[in-house]
């Protein structure tokens, strides 16, 4: 690890200005410290943003809930009213890492984390995402990689929160220069689909301030994942679903998969198919078929297809249980 300077930012504007000169933001540091140790990242300055005003609260309101970027995942998972309003979000937060990690890791950090691909994380490999010419996973060990990829890099999005926040129709407020910008979840990750070097759409000096979830999304939500270990492990596949259940039928449905694409993966045709329908085994199966229709398994990850199909059906079933 190379030496660096360290400063505690007092305002979002000063944090952004400080990072412009080869700096990095740090809050919980779960992801960044690993990159520093492996010499993947070598910033001159670390800017602590965890104590910025307004970033540590969960604030309910009549039209939307606001969650600060520095709220820890442990606090998110334990928030009683949030668990009632957005159970899928609390479930997703509670599945990240270990209890020790959740006590430190933040909402903003989980959304902005970098690729977990073992080729990207290897200090001696210059893969496509690090500016090289080759995605070694495509023809190499790709057990944990994408089933859907429009980019040359097949590293998947693994943020638990990104998957369920996409299902909930959330927006992310970002400090971009002197102004705030509002991004949909699709906009937050779209660059990772288009650009093999991108982890998300944030520029180096873009700082996540908070997440806003419309109350209209607070009908029912669910999050499920399958991992190789029951605790302290990344999801092989995850699934979030959200909808209002009115008279036994689904309204405003969103189904989203994680760890299968460089972005949170949803298929609008599947969401539209579910709209206004009562959930039966046949309806859930057809929706899962639509979500998985364009999957292109690689040499070592075809097992993800039946896992994803099953999770879609089970997540939908949780909405009406």
Q: How confident is the model at residue 1 (pLDDT cuts 50, 70, 90)?
A: confident
pLDDT at 292: 98
Q: How confident is the model at residue 82 (pLDDT cuts 50, 70, 90)?
A: very high
Tokens representing 136 are: 């070694």
Please check whether residue 304 lies inside any domain of the structure.
yes
Q: For residue 25, what are the β-bridge partners? A: 47
In this structure, are residues 243 and 274 in contact, taking their beta carbons and an 8 Å threshold? yes
Q: Per residue, what are the HEC states of 17-36? A: HHHCCCEEEECCCHHHHHHH
Please check whether residue 176 lies inside any domain of the structure.
yes
Q: Give the structural domain span for 48.
A: 1-122+139-321
pLDDT at 231: 84
Q: What burial letters (b/e) apply to 174-187, b meaning 16+ CB within 10 Å?
A: bbbeeeeeebebee
Q: Average the pLDDT over 259-276 and give the result.
A: 98
Between strands 64-68 and 45-48, the pairing is unpaired
Please check whether residue 127 lies inside any domain of the structure.
no
pLDDT tens-digit profile of 197-225? 999 999 999 999 999 999 986 689 999 99
> Which of 1-5, 59-63, 168-172 is predicted with the least confidence, judged by mean pLDDT?
1-5
Please check whether residue 134 lies inside any domain of the structure.
no
Q: What burial letters (b/e) apply to 259-278, b meaning 16+ CB within 10 Å?
A: bbbbbbbbbeebbebbeebe
In the chain, the number of structural domains is: 1
pLDDT tens-digit profile of 122-180? 999 999 999 999 999 999 999 999 999 888 999 999 999 999 999 999 999 999 999 99
Q: How confident is the model at residue 22 (pLDDT cuts 50, 70, 90)?
A: confident
Between strands 5-8 and 45-48, the pairing is parallel
pLDDT at 217: 62
Please check whether residue 131 lies inside any domain of the structure.
no
In this structure, are residues 309 and 150 in contact, taking their beta carbons and an 8 Å threshold? no
pLDDT at 219: 85
> Cα(22)–Cα(236) distance, rounded to whole angstroms?
34
Please check whether residue 309 lies inside any domain of the structure.
yes
Please check whether residue 83 lies inside any domain of the structure.
yes
- What's 44's domain CATH number? 3.30.465.10
Ramachandran angles phi, psi of 143, nearest 5° = -55, -35
Sign of CA dihedral 302, 191, 54, 242: negative
Q: Average the pLDDT over 20-40 and give the result.
A: 93
In this structure, are residues 143 and 307 in contact, taking their beta carbons and an 8 Å threshold? no
Please check whether residue 157 lies inside any domain of the structure.
yes
Residue 249 has pLDDT above 70, yes or no: yes
User: pLDDT > 70: what percent of the chain?
Assistant: 99
pLDDT at 218: 61
Q: Average the pLDDT over 60-88 and give the result.
A: 97
């Amino acid at each position: 690890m190379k030496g660096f300077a360290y400063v505690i930012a007092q305002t979002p504007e000063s944090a952004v200005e400080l990072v412009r000169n080869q700096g990095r933001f740090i809050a919980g540091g779960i992801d960044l410290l690993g990159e520093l140790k492996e010499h993947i990242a070598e910033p001159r300055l670390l800017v602590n943003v965890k104590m910025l005003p307004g970033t540590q609260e969960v604030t309910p309101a009549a039209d939307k809930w606001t969650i600060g970027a520095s709220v820890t995942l442990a606090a998110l998972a334990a928030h009683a009213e949030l668990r009632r309003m957005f159970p899928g979000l609390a479930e997703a937060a509670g599945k990240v890492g270990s209890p020790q990690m959740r006590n430190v890791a933040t909402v903003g950090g989980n959304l902005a984390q970098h690729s977990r691909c073992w080729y990207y994380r290897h200090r001696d490999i210059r893969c496509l995402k690090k500016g090289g010419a080759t995605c070694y996973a495509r023809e190499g060990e790709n057990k944990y990689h994408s089933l859907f990829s429009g980019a040359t890099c097949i590293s998947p999005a693994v943020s638990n929160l990104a998957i369920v926040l996409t299902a909930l129709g959330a927006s992310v407020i970002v400090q971009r220069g002197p102004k705030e910008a509002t991004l949909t979840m699709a906009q937050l990750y779209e660059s990772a689909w288009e650009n093999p070097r991108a982890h998300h759409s944030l520029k180096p000096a873009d700082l996540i301030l908070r997440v806003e979830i419309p109350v209209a999304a607070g009908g029912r939500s669910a999050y499920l994942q399958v991992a190789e270990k029951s605790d302290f492990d990344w999801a092989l596949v995850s699934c979030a679903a959200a909808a209002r259940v009115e008279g036994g039928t689904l309204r405003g449905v969103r189904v989203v998969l994680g760890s299968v694409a460089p972005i949170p993966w949803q298929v609008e045709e599947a969401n539209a198919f579910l709209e206004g329908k009562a959930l039966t085994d046949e309806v859930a199966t057809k929706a899962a078929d639509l979500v998985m229709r364009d999957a292109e398994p690689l040499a070592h990850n075809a097992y993800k297809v039946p896992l994803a199909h099953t999770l879609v059906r089970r997540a939908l079933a949780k909405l009406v249980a």
